[in-house]
Structure 1
Amino acid sequence: MVTVLDTADIAPGDRAEAMYSAMISASAPCFLMQEESGAGIRARMDVWPMRTMQVFSTESTGIRLVRTARQARQDDAAPLIAFAVQTASRGRQSHLGHQRLVPRGHLLMMDHSAPYDYAWSGDGASRCIQVPLDQLTLPVDVVRSALPHLTASPLYPMVTDHIAHLTGGIEDLLRDPASAGIEEITIGLARALIASAVRQDHHTRTALAETRLTRIRAYVRRHLTEPDLRPARIAAAHHISERHLYKLCAQAGFSLNRWIIEQRLDGAREELARPAGDGRTIAAVARRWGFSDPTHFSHRFKEAYGMSPRDWRAAARERSGPPEGAGLSGP
């Protein structure tokens, strides 16, 4: 996490300028108007840059952000699509010819390649993800046409809840090796939300199919460390048959069972390399990642990575140095 702004540490006379600088660095060039002035301005912004998207949160006294057509036209940065959950106060959005009041707990979308006007009064807050347009793999006209119809999508509550939980617990997610792939999951859900909102047959069918598989992948990743994670349980959790589950995976070009093992091995490998995990035996790490037989785990690990779990841990320890007071651990 990078805290790009905390007005508690800034002199009252400098807060307006500091907030303006933080806002355009985290989002996009725009005009910022403050409801308060001087010591009355209170704000905090935190940013989590990720590989394919960015997460940030804003809490502040009343603000208004205006991005003009000229600013949008002159911005040579890659086009971004923002998805923000209003977590305090009520937002007001004017964008692409549409006006909307955004109640607390609701989601809004913003295309940064077009002008917009967004504001809240009093103590407000939002949590946001920014996704490059090319990651959504949807034409910009499809994205823009979805704007006034987001709340009508059957996926709107689920995507809103996902983004709220993601942005609210991002620190824990980034520390947890079981959360690998969260960006892929989030972008897949955003894509499906847009496609289902516009209800264009080709994009909708494709995106909704991807969404079901995305939800399955997300479910598997959440439960990777549970030994009873099997296809029958996964299918039942998504109200489909095992046969249909295997068909979805085959259409996507991967083996479900092999993928689960690969994800578990990746999680175990990352945990074994962490200094904080030095206190766990290799057998304990194997059990945590769903391998009840340490010998089977060691065989699978060596087959996948060309060395045993013990050798991998030793090599990782040499690279980073052992933590102070750490003892040796074995299988």
Structure 2
Amino acid sequence: MVTVLDTADIAPDDRAEAMYTAMISASVPCFLIQEESGAGIRARMNIWPMEAMQVFSTESTGIRLVRTAKQARADDAAPLIAFAVQTGSQGRQSHLGHQRLVPQGHLLMMDHSAPYDYAWSGDGASRCIQVSLDQLTLPVDVVRSALPHLAASPLYPMVTDHIAHLTGNIEDLLGDPASAGIEEITLGLTRALIASAARQDRHTRAALAETRLTQIRAYVRRHLTEPDLRPARIAAAHHISERALYKLCAQAGFHLTRWIIEQRLEGAREELAHPSGSGHAVAAVARRWGFSDPTHFSHRFKDAYGISPRDWRDRAYETS
């Protein structure tokens, strides 16, 4: 986490300028209008840069952010799409010809390649993810047509809940090796929400299928160490048949069983290489990652990495 602003550490006369600088560094150039002045300005902003997206939080006294058409045209960076959950006060959004009140706990979307006006009064807060349009792999016209219809999508509550939990627990998630696919999951969910809200059948079908697949991958990652993780259990957990599960994976060019084994091997490899794993028996690590037969595990490991698990553990220990 990077704390880019905490007005408690800033002289009152410098707070307005400091908040403006922090805001445009976290997001995009815009005008910032403060409801308070001097010592009345209170704000804290944190940023969590990730590989495919950026998470940031803002808590402050009343603000208004205005991005003009001129600023949007002058910005030659890759277009950013923001998804924000209003976590304090009530937001007001005017964007692409639509005006909306955003109650606490609700989600809004912003296309930074277009002008907007966004504000709240009193002590407010927002938690936001920003992704590039390229990462969403959806045309900008689909994104824009979805904006006024987000809340009508059946996916809206699920995506709002996901982003709220993601941004609210980002520290714990980033520190958990089992959350490695969180960006992929988030991109899949936001893509599906946009496609659903835009009512674009072709995009909707593809996005929903991809979202289901990312949910399956996330489920597998959460339960990788459990020996009974089999296709029947995975299918039942997602309320589909095994046949539908295999069909979904095949359409995506994704071999489920092979991928589970690869993920388990990688988890075991990381554990064996970790300094705390130097005293762990290979058989115990194998069992912990779902391999009941240590000999089978050793063969799989050597086929995958060209070295036995024991030699890999010892080499990692010697170089640590």
TM-score by length of 2: 0.95
Deviation of 1:214 after TM superposition, in Å, equals 1.7
Deviation of 1:161 after TM superposition, in Å, equals 0.9
Shift in CA distance, 26/276, structure 1 to aligned 2, threshold 3 Å: farther
1:39 and 2:35 are equivalent in the alignment? no
What corresponds to 1:199 in structure 2?
Answer: 199
Residues in 1 aligned to 2:23 and 2:298: alpha-carbon distance in whole angstroms: 49
Gaps in structure 1 of 5+ consecutive residues: 322-331
Residues in 2 aligned to 1:6 and 1:285: alpha-carbon distance in whole angstroms: 44
Shift in CA distance, 312/7, structure 1 to aligned 2, threshold 3 Å: farther
Shift in CA distance, 7/312, structure 1 to aligned 2, threshold 3 Å: farther
Deviation of 1:231 after TM superposition, in Å, equals 0.8
The alignment partner of 2:130 has SS state of strand
Report the aligned-residue RMSD. 1.6
Gaps in structure 2 of 5+ consecutive residues: none
Letter of the 1:185 counterpart: I
Deviation of 1:309 after TM superposition, in Å, equals 2.5
The C-alpha deviation readout for 1:143-197, integer Å capped at 9, x for no partner, is 0000000001111111111111111122222222211221111111111000000
**How many matched pairs?**
320
Deviation of 1:318 after TM superposition, in Å, equals 4.5
Residues in 2 aligned to 1:174 and 1:192: alpha-carbon distance in whole angstroms: 24
What corresponds to 1:58 in structure 2?
Answer: 58
Counterparts of residues 1-331 of structure 1 (less than 5 Å): 1-278=1-278, 280-319=280-319, 321=320
Residues in 2 aligned to 1:16 and 1:279: alpha-carbon distance in whole angstroms: 55
The alignment partner of 2:240 has SS state of coil
Residues in 1 aligned to 2:278 and 2:125: alpha-carbon distance in whole angstroms: 40
Letter of the 2:261 counterpart: I
Shift in CA distance, 197/151, structure 1 to aligned 2, threshold 3 Å: same
Residues in 1 aligned to 2:274 and 2:88: alpha-carbon distance in whole angstroms: 37
Query: Does the 8 Å contact 1:177/1:271 carry over to 2?
Result: no
The alignment partner of 2:171 has SS state of helix
Shift in CA distance, 271/147, structure 1 to aligned 2, threshold 3 Å: same
Letter of the 1:288 counterpart: R
Query: Does the 8 Å contact 1:83/1:109 carry over to 2?
Result: yes
Deviation of 1:235 after TM superposition, in Å, equals 0.6
The C-alpha deviation readout for 1:228-279, integer Å capped at 9, x for no partner, is 2111111111111111111111111121111111112222222333335556
Residues in 1 aligned to 2:317 and 2:14: alpha-carbon distance in whole angstroms: 46
The alignment partner of 2:118 has SS state of strand
Shift in CA distance, 312/4, structure 1 to aligned 2, threshold 3 Å: farther
Deviation of 1:18 after TM superposition, in Å, equals 1.0
Residues in 1 aligned to 2:13 and 2:272: alpha-carbon distance in whole angstroms: 50
Select between 111-120 and 282-291 the one with higher mean Cα deviation: 282-291
Letter of the 2:301 counterpart: F
The C-alpha deviation readout for 1:33-83, integer Å capped at 9, x for no partner, is 111222222211111111111111111111111111111110111100001
